[in-house]
Amino acid sequence: MVREWRGLTPEQLARAEERLRHPRPGSRIEAAQRFGVDLSLLIETLRLTPAERARRMQECIEAADQVRGAARPGGK
């Protein structure tokens, strides 16, 4: 069975953004923020649809492959 993934509803997105912008003291989100995780990037990603996230990930993979190829002797 193939499951269809959907983007967040506006209410879910608003709730997630609020939690990421104002993490509760002692929460794992606050710990991640203290560690240096850029939570604004998570918010930006949550605003994308699952298809847009997959497309962005594929673009990153292709860019990494190009960099790896350029770093090899002979360029490929």
Is the pLDDT at 4 greater than 80, yes or no?
A: no
Q: What is the Cα gyration radius of the chain?
A: 17
Q: Is the pTM above the cut of 0.75?
A: no
pLDDT per position as a tens digit, 7-33:
789 999 999 999 999 999 999 999 999
What's the CA gap between 28 and 33, in Å, rounded?
9
Map out the domains of the chain as residue ranges: 10-75
Average pLDDT, the chain: 90
Classify residue 3 by burial, with Cβ atoms within 10 Å: 0-12, 13-18, 19+: exposed
If one counts every other C-beta atom within 10 angstroms of the C-beta of residue 37, the result is 13
43 to each of 28, 62, 73, how far by Cα in Å? Answer: 16, 24, 39
